[in-house]
Amino acid sequence: MKPFDYTAPSTIADAVSLLSQHNGEARVLAGGTDILVQLREGLREAGIVIDVKKIAELRALDCCSTSGLTLGASTPCAEIYGNADVCNAYPALTDAARIIGGWQIQSRASIGGNLCNASPAADSIPALIALNAVALVAGPSGQREIPVADFCTAPGRNALAAGELLVCLQFPAPSANASSAYQRFIPRNEMDIAVVGVGSWLQLDESGQTILSARVALGAVAPTPVFAAEASDWLAGKPATEDTYRQAGELARKAASPISDMRGTAEYRVHLVGVLTQRTLAKAVQRAAG
């Protein structure tokens, strides 16, 4: 590990200016649970580490029934699942926040960091995609929005341009009779990385019998987390039954293009997409029904 400088700006403008100034050798530190390990193991190098936890906007956690959720990019997981409103309105997000690392990690690790790290197996990203979250990004030429579904571009790579900083994630206001769930498969019960992860969101009609619309997203089955568009579209108008979930699982499998590695074979991962799609849809329906 090479020595590096450290700085902790308190405004977005300062952070963006530092990022531009040190383009290419600056690394952003939120919770640090990925970047510190990567620096120590030589997977990434840094000339300067920019700590963004002191910027107020990046620590936001505003949950509102009409305007939705604004989640600062460096807000730690523990604060997120510690907020009852967020747990009620965005359970897929808190499902994910609860299983990223152990308690000590969760008091540091942020969803923004999990997204920017752009691991194909990141636990929060399928949940964010299912919840239709949008990333608000600040850069030298102002701010722009990027749907989370388009944020990751390759393993470890994201859509941020030079000098850009992820400020927050914006979630649509909660809909009536809607809910969500995220589940991953891991061989152990803890301390593990998703072999496959699936996030599902859906809205039921007033009777609770029919699915009005749905979004299913998959992790660890492609170079980036993916939105399972065909399965999601197909679910609209279907009865909320086990058979529907199973068929949706079949369709979701088509969106998976996994590799075989030490975490599982491609064949097994495709199979798990079906199982977890089915299970998360059932869970989301159960939650939506209250």
Partner 1 sequence: MAAGSDQKKYKVIGTRPIRPDGADKVTGRAIYGADVQLSGLVHGKILRSPHAHAKIKSVDVSAALQAPGVLAVVTGADFPELKDKIAQLGEGAVNLAYLSGNLLARNKVLYKGHAVAAVAARTANQAEEALKKIRVEYEPLPAVTWVLDAMQDDAPLLHDDIHTDSMGNKSEKPSNISTHLHFETGDVGQGFKQADVVIEREFKTASVHQGYIEPHVATALWNTDGRLKIWTSTQGSFTARQQTAELLQIPVSQVTVVPCEIGGGFGGKISVYLEPVAAMLSRQCGRPVKMTMTREACFEATGPTPGSYMRVKIGATKEGKIVAGEAYLAYDAGAYPGGMIGPGCMCVFSCYEFPNAVVDGYDVMLNKPKTQAYRAPGATHAALACETIIDELAEKLKLDPIEFRLMNAAREGTRRVDGPVYPRVGLIECLEAAKASEHYQSALKGPNRGRGVAAGFWFNIGLKSAATANVNADGCVTLLEGSTDIGGSRASIAMQLAETLGIAAEDVHPAVVDTDSVGYTDVTGGSRVTFATGMAVYQVGRKIRAQMMERAAELWEVDAASVSEADGVYSSGEHALPFKALAVKLHEIGGPIVGSASVNPQGSSNGFGVQIADVEVDPETGKVSVLRYTVIQDAGQAIHPSYVEGQMQGGAVQGIGWALNEEYFYGEDGQMKNASFLDYRMPTALDVPMIETIIVEVPNPEHPFGVRGVGETPIVPPVAAMANAVYAATGVRMRDIPMSPPKLWKALAEKESS
Binding residues for partner 1 (CB under 8 A): 1-3, 42, 185, 187-193, 195, 261-265, 267-268, 271-272, 275
Q: Where are the alpha helices (DSSP H) in 1-82?
A: 12-21, 35-40, 77-81
Closest separation in Å from C-beta 87 to partner 1: 22
CA distance 123 to 280: 14
Beta carbon nearer to partner 1, 101 or 112: 101
C-alpha distances (whole Å) from 28 to each of 24, 40, 63, 142, 253 are 11, 15, 25, 19, 35
Beta carbon nearer to partner 1, 179 or 183: 183
Closest separation in Å from C-beta 272 to partner 1: 7
Beta carbon nearer to partner 1, 187 or 290: 187
Closest separation in Å from C-beta 257 to partner 1: 17
CA distance 238 to 253: 18
C-alpha distances (whole Å) from 166 to each of 30, 135, 188, 255 are 11, 7, 32, 27
Closest separation in Å from C-beta 189 to partner 1: 4
Contacts of residue 6, defined as CB under 8 A and 6 or more positions apart, other chains included, come to: 29, 48, 49, 51
Closest separation in Å from C-beta 186 to partner 1: 9
Beta carbon nearer to partner 1, 42 or 142: 42
Beta carbon nearer to partner 1, 238 or 246: 246
Residues 178-214 as b/e (b if ≥16 CB within 10 A, e otherwise) read bbbbbbbbbeeeeeeebbbbbbbbbbbeeeeebbbeb
Closest separation in Å from C-beta 286 to partner 1: 18
Secondary structure letter of residue 71 according to DSSP: E
Nearest to 173 by CA among 48, 94, 86: 86
CA distance 168 to 260: 34
Closest separation in Å from C-beta 187 to partner 1: 5
Beta carbon nearer to partner 1, 270 or 285: 270
Closest separation in Å from C-beta 49 to partner 1: 15
Residue 131: both structure tokens together: 């919840």
Nearest to 183 by CA among 69, 78, 94: 94
